[in-house]
Amino acid sequence: MPFLNSLIIGISVASIWLIAALGLTIIYGTMGVINMAHGELIMLGAYSTYVFQTFLGVPFILCLPLAFVIVAGLGWIIERGVIRTLYQRPLDTLLATWGLSLILIQGVRLIFGGKPQYVGVPEWLKFQIDYSFIHISGLRVFIIFTAVFLVVMTYLVLYRTSLGIRVRAVMQDKEMAASFGIETNRIYSITFAYGAGLAGVAGALFGALKTLFPDMGSGYIVEAFLVVVVGGAGLIGSVFSAGLLGEMNSVFSYFTNDTFARFVLFTLIVIFLRFRPQGLIVEGMARR
C-alpha cells in the first residue's frame, strides 16, 4: 500500500537526516559550538569522493573512509586554527564558521567550477526492492545500514572507550575534567575532527544520491540543526529525533506535498521547542 511504503521512505529520510546531523551532534553536544560550516564539510566529503572516483579510480566503498580521513583532518585544522580562540565568544564562533563556509564554497567553485558534478553509484547498489508495499532503491538501503553502523560506532566510541569517558567528562564539566588531568583542548580537537569526519562520510553518501554543487551543503544544514536541537544535542536524542522527523515528513508528504509537509513539520517543531526547549532527551552537561 502507498501509505505503508511512505513509512519505509520515512526511514530512508530519517537515515539521511541522521547522518547529516551526527557530526553536528558530536560537535555541538560536546563543545557547545554552533558550526555553520557543517554543511560545507558535507560538501567537501562529496567532492572528495568525486575526485577519488574520477581521477584516481577508487571504488565507492573505499571513498567513505577516505572522505572521513580528509574532512576529519580539515576539521582538526579548523579547530586548532579558528575555533580554539573563540570558545568563550559564541557569537564570534558562529560568524567565523559562517565566514568559513563562504570561503569553502567559493574555493570549491574556483577549483571545480559551477557546473554540476556526479558521483558514480556502483553496480552492486543499482537494484530496486519491490516486495509487497515496499519499493526502495538499493542505494537508500545502503544509506540506512550505513547510518546504523555510524550510530553504533559512535556509541561504542563514546561509551566503551577511555577516549569516550574523557569526552563525556568534558561534556559534563570542563573545569572539573581539567582538574583531573584531562587535556580538554586535545579532547576538543579530536571531537571536532571526528564530527567533521562524519560529515565527510555523509557527503560521500549524499554525492551518490544527488548532484554535486559547491553550495549543496546549505540543503542539509537546516535539517541537521533541527535534528540536533529537537533531540536535545545528544546521540540518543538525535537518533529518536531523526526517526520522528523523517517519518512525520514522509507522512505529511504522502497526504499533501513535500513543500507543504516541510511547512507543517517546521511549524510543529517551533511549537514543540516553545514548550520543551531542552529537546526530547536531555543529557546533563555544563555549557562552556
| Cα(50)–Cα(119) distance, integer angstroms | 5
| Cα(201)–Cα(20) distance, integer angstroms | 9
> pTM of the entire structure?
0.90
Question: Residues 241, 283: contact at Cβ < 8 Å?
Answer: no
In angstroms, what CA-CA distances link 107 with 47, 100, 199?
A: 12, 10, 18
Question: pLDDT at position 200, please?
Answer: 94
Span 193-209, pLDDT tens digits? 999 999 999 999 989 88
Written as tens digits, the pLDDT of the chain (288 aa) is 666 777 777 888 888 889 889 888 888 877 778 888 999 999 999 999 999 999 999 999 999 999 999 999 999 999 998 888 887 787 888 899 999 999 999 999 999 988 899 998 888 888 888 777 677 888 889 999 999 999 999 999 988 999 888 888 887 778 888 888 888 888 889 999 999 999 999 999 989 888 999 999 887 888 888 899 898 878 888 899 998 888 888 888 878 787 888 888 889 888 998 888 888 887 654 444
Buried b / exposed e over 242-253, threshold 16 CB at 10 Å, is: bbbbbbbbbbbb
| Cα(252)–Cα(113) distance, integer angstroms | 37
Question: pLDDT at position 31, please?
Answer: 73
Question: pLDDT at position 288, please?
Answer: 46
Domains of the chain, by residue range, sit at 23-216
Sequential DSSP letters for the chain: -HHHHHHHHHHHHHHHHHHHHHHHHHHHHHH----TTHHHHHHHHHHHHHHHHHHH---HHHHHHHHHHHHHHHHHHHHHHTGGGGTT-HHHHHHHHHHHHHHHHHHHHHHH-SS-B-PPPPGGG--EEEETTEEEEHHHHHHHHHHHHHHHHHHHHHHSSHHHHHHHHHHH-HHHHHHTT--HHHHHHHHHHHHHHHHHHHHHHHHHHS-B-TTTTHHHHHHHHHHHHHHTSSHHHHHHHHHHHHHHHHHHHHHS-HHHHHHHHHHHHHHHHHH-TT-SS-------
Q: Grid coordinates in use for 120?
A: 558514480
Question: pLDDT at position 1, please?
Answer: 60
